[in-house]
Amino acid sequence: MNPRLPSLILLLALALPCSQPGAQVQPGATAAPALGALTLRAAEEMLISRNRDVQLARRATQAAEANSVIAGAAPNPLFSWSTANINPSKGIGAGPPRDKTVDTVLRVDQLIERGGKRELRIEAAQMLIAAAGAELDDVVRQQRLAVANAYFELLAAQDKVAITRDTAALWRESVAATELRLKAGDVAAADLTRLRVDGLRALNDARAAEGDVARGQVTLAYLLGVEAEAAKIRAVDAWPAPDAIASAVVSEEVIDSRPDVRGAMRRVEAAQKGRELARSLRTRDVTVGVQYEHWPTSPTNDQGTGNSFGFSFSVPIFARYYYDGEIARAEADYSAAGDLLERARAQARAQVAQALSDLRAAADRLARYEGGLLVEARRAAEYAEFAYKNGAISVTELLDARRTLRATQLDAAQSRADYAKALAAWRASFAAGGQGS
């Protein structure tokens, strides 16, 4: 046997899984996400290709591009064939079709647009493409914020599960120790009953926290388009550290760079082109035509076989209507687009101001928890545990200290989530664009 054969077989075995059809990655496809250790960055990357709202906005962009093709199309020529001078009493005669005793006219007509109508349609369509692209970016911006909110809610729920499970484990230990003390006569039976009741409450809190995790997984899975794998999702990012909050002054350039405002600006420009297009309707289009006529000899045609050519030229006569309605409608659309732009700018300014206010409030609240409340609550709980073990306080005082610590820990977890969401909202409030295209 060839001594190199086992090595070749091993290499072939290792290569086979990579060559399976199911293992191949299609061009443009994203690798399977690690949902069991999902980071916010990975979730945002999944959002671009899987989120349904983003996909719908992308379809709207494709539709706008198709409309641009339609707008740039020149009028097609019109071909017509007509046959006349058919005598039902004498027939159409014998012979091939060309010799039939009828007059045949072949004609081609072409509409020629004037007033720059086609160019205006193309320019308006290009503006609408830009508007659809900006609106796609805005959908990405909004969905990123929704993903961030869902992600941090899930992360907070996971922290709450850990807190309530630790609390339940502590109560189980306390109940076991109190049962031994009860047998020794150191505590009353009522104290053991109170501990058991609070232990059951802690178990209920732990179960409720697990339900919050499941809801958070479902919400995030829907945004990422992986509902079937919702139970696998686990958020693993650390909480964002409080940073220095930026100034409240946001320039108009920053406001105008927001995708929703950019989209509104492009729609104003498209409406302007639409207004010019409506006015151009008063510039008369012309239709030119050329025709060929053939007539053979017949009893009703004593002039003999003949062929002739002709030309035509036609223009509309604005005798009853001068496109007043179209122009008035285009003026109204232009004014409405301007109003929508101002509304978008006002909403953007309000969102930036509100996001900054929420961020400052969340940062202050988090600082109080991280800077003093949690430390004092833990210290008080430790003192109470030590005092209870040494018989210095009652079980009621011990339970109060534990409840205070648990409530403080849960509130601190929620305050971290609130700060993280407020920070994401602040950043999204003046985000310049997305990656939807």
CA 58 from centroid of its chain's CA atoms: 9
Judge residue 210's burial from the number of C-beta atoms within 10 Å of its C-beta, 0-12 exposed, 13-18 middle, 19 or more buried: middle
**Within-domain flag for 385:** yes
Backbone angles phi, psi at 80, to 5 degrees: -135, 150
Which among 422, 436, 437, 434 has a CA at the least distance from the CA of 141? 434
We report the CATH number of the domain holding residue 228 as: 1.20.1600.10
User: Do 334 and 264 form a contact (C-beta atoms < 8 A)?
Assistant: no
**Within-domain flag for 307:** no
b or e along 423-432 (b: 16 or more beta carbons within 10 Å of the residue's beta carbon)? bbbbbbbbbe
User: Do 301 and 238 form a contact (C-beta atoms < 8 A)?
Assistant: no
pLDDT at position 437: 55
Give the H or E element holding residue 253.
helix 252-257
Distance, in Å, from the CA atom of 140 to the CA atom of 266, rounded to the nearest integer, reads 18
**Within-domain flag for 33:** no
Judge residue 222's burial from the number of C-beta atoms within 10 Å of its C-beta, 0-12 exposed, 13-18 middle, 19 or more buried: middle
pTM for the whole structure:
0.79
**Within-domain flag for 207:** yes
pLDDT at position 185: 66
pLDDT at position 23: 33
Residue 140 in tokens: 């990405």
User: Do 290 and 107 form a contact (C-beta atoms < 8 A)?
Assistant: yes
Show the domain range for 127. 38-74+113-282+318-429
**Within-domain flag for 303:** no
CA 97 from centroid of its chain's CA atoms: 64
Side-chain half-sphere of 142: how many Cα atoms within 13 Å? 14
Judge residue 293's burial from the number of C-beta atoms within 10 Å of its C-beta, 0-12 exposed, 13-18 middle, 19 or more buried: middle
pLDDT at position 413: 92
User: Do 220 and 150 form a contact (C-beta atoms < 8 A)?
Assistant: yes
**Within-domain flag for 294:** no
Report DSSP state, residue 89: T
> Which SS3 state, helix, strand or coil, does residue 290 take?
strand
pLDDT at position 433: 64
User: Do 212 and 204 form a contact (C-beta atoms < 8 A)?
Assistant: no
Say how many domains are in the chain. Answer: 1
Side-chain half-sphere of 85: how many Cα atoms within 13 Å? 16
**Within-domain flag for 164:** yes
Residue 367 in tokens: 């600082």
**Within-domain flag for 308:** no
Task: Tell me the average confidence (pLDDT) per consecutive run of 10 residues in the chain, 437 residues long.
Answer: 39 35 38 78 92 95 95 94 72 62 87 94 96 95 95 94 84 72 70 75 84 94 93 93 67 89 96 96 95 72 69 93 95 96 94 91 90 86 82 78 86 93 91 65
Which among 145, 137, 138, 154 has a CA at the least distance from the CA of 221? 154
